[in-house]
Amino acid sequence: MTLTDLSATKLLAMLHAREVTAAEVMQACLDCIAQENPPLNAIVALKDTDALMEAAAQADKDGPSGALWGLPMAVKDTANAVGFPGTLGSPILAKFIPKRDDLHVARMRAAGAIFIGKTNVPEFGLGSHSVNPVYGATRNPYDTGRSVGGSSGGAAASLASRMQWAVDGSDMMGSLRNPAGWANVYGFRPSFGLVPADPDRDLYLHPLATSGPMARSPEDLALLLDVQAGRDPRVPSSYDDGPFATQLDADLKGRRVAWLGDWGGAWPMDDGVIATCEAALNTFDMLGCTVESLPAPFPAEDLWQSWIDLRSFAVAGSLGPLYDNPDYRPLIREDAIWEIERGRALSAQQIMRASSIRSNWFRKASELFQTYDALIAPTAQVWPFPVDWAHPKQIAGQQMDTYHRWMECVIPCSLIGLPGVAVPAGFGDNGLPMGLQFIGPHRGDLGVLQLAQGWHQATGWPDKRPPQGAAG
């Protein structure tokens, strides 16, 4: 076993005990990137090797400080990190170098992480396929002819291939969960407010996205979450919870989970997705949990309508200034223009109806959590698709009416800001990975992380079946 095979928790313990140096860890990281990144294109904007080795040597000289001290980390390219391009995968921002870190990035830096570059994303983070005109496409470590999802696709691929130990991601429409499921790793969307949004951004209106951790184990998720999470007085929705890393191990006997499946047939699925997920559900028996199939608990079409209206409204607000610039508009991808124009065409009544549906779904979900400890769903409705596709245009013979309709299974969690952890569910007959979402009640983050911890101890998928060619 090499340094890159170790968990982040084990590696950091060795670093703090001076059993290994930050320089040795950095060299191992860079060697792995040199071997694994060329076919995957997961890590972009990689900093100069000499500068990174100098930073690691300085860390060794200064000595241990912070939970992430000496850990090389690449930051998702939708987040600002001083010293690195913040392109969002758009040629409009290809030369943008931020002057300040986003809040969760600043927390990781303060905890001692050594930033080495960025992880690749879709243009503007839209859609679950990490391809853009600045850096190109990120490929799946389990089949380089296929997508690894997104928008945290570069992050997921860097974990699966052992180029990274733990990484940041973000999740609006499954961006932490879908790529985790397609890369046989873990991704955690925290309850809204646990990892605060950047205080310079809008703090109130229709929040849909959040940052969160990705890793190869729940233990490492919790380690990074403890760094990212916590109240900031400038962010009114933020709050303190945890710590999480010290509370993961729990007796899970008697916990009840509800299997949502395909939401009563509302979500079309590729052949084998449901079968693979349902076979994985047997793991709950080993944990002493009760699994019950749950009929569709809310009208799927209402959820979808609420989601696309609030999402288009949010995208129109964030990308509208670029759209209004005649020099920039030709450089914006077609799907983003569709979102902006659709969002601007919505009436106040439509926005209020979307918000009302959202509120009703939260009330219904709260009722469900009086009976169940978690709701379980697939992380995706399709297997990783060919990397040269823009997106799946049909599933099981059903045409997709938008560029993101094929991701419908992630919105019950996203729409109302619930915690959702993506866990590996194993592999289909095609050899491709699939994942499950464990969704909990608001501020029930510890509960779903404990379920994920038990799951990992029972299955160990990321270590049991790493991708062929991953450095080790």
What tokens were used for 375? 């709701």
Active-site annotation holds for 151:
yes
Question: Once rounded to an integer, what is the mean pLDDT over residues 395-421?
Answer: 98
> Which residues are 74's β-sheet partners?
117
Using 50, 70 and 90 to split pLDDT, how confident is the model at 207? confident
Using 50, 70 and 90 to split pLDDT, how confident is the model at 472? low
What tokens were used for 186? 């873990």
Question: Once rounded to an integer, what is the mean pLDDT over residues 195-222?
Answer: 94
Question: Which residue among 7, 128, 130, 151 is the active-site one?
Answer: 151
Active-site annotation holds for 76:
yes
Q: Please check the confidence at residue 206 and state whether its pLDDT lies above 80.
A: no
What is the Cα–Cα distance from 389 to 372, expressed in whole angstroms? 38
User: Could you state, in order of their start, the residue ranges of all structural domains in the chain?
Assistant: 3-298+357-464
pLDDT value of residue 471 = 65
pLDDT value of residue 181 = 98
pLDDT value of residue 87 = 98
What tokens were used for 434? 């699939």
Question: Which residue among 76, 152, 158, 312 is the active-site one?
Answer: 76
pLDDT value of residue 60 = 98
Q: Please check the confidence at residue 223 and state whether its pLDDT lies above 70.
A: yes
Question: Once rounded to an integer, what is the mean pLDDT over residues 268-292?
Answer: 98
> Is-contact 361 153, C-beta < 8 A?
no
pLDDT value of residue 371 = 98
Q: Which fold has domain 3-298+357-464?
A: Amidase signature (AS) enzymes (3.90.1300)
On the 0-12 / 13-18 / 19+ scale of CB atoms within 10 A, 205 is exposed
pLDDT value of residue 145 = 98
Closest to 193 measured CA to CA, from 448, 452, 438, 445: 445
- Torsion sign, CA atoms 319, 321, 324, 330: negative
pLDDT value of residue 1 = 84
Predicted confidence (pLDDT) per residue in 422-454, tens digit? 999 999 999 999 999 999 999 999 999 999 999
Active-site annotation holds for 130:
no
What tokens were used for 336? 């983003």
Question: Once rounded to an integer, what is the mean pLDDT over residues 363-385?
Answer: 98
What is the Cα–Cα distance from 363 to 307, expressed in whole angstroms? 16
Predicted confidence (pLDDT) per residue in 311-351, tens digit? 999 999 999 999 999 999 999 999 999 999 999 999 999 99
Q: Identify the residue with better confidence: 355 or 202.
A: 355
> Is-contact 134 78, C-beta < 8 A?
no
What is the Cα–Cα distance from 344 to 327, expressed in whole angstroms? 20
What tokens were used for 388? 């040269």
What tokens were used for 47? 């900093």
Using 50, 70 and 90 to split pLDDT, how confident is the model at 81? very high
What tokens were used for 433? 């990975």
Predicted confidence (pLDDT) per residue in 113-170, tens digit? 999 999 999 999 999 999 999 999 999 999 999 999 999 999 999 999 999 999 999 9
- State the chain's mean pLDDT as an integer: 97
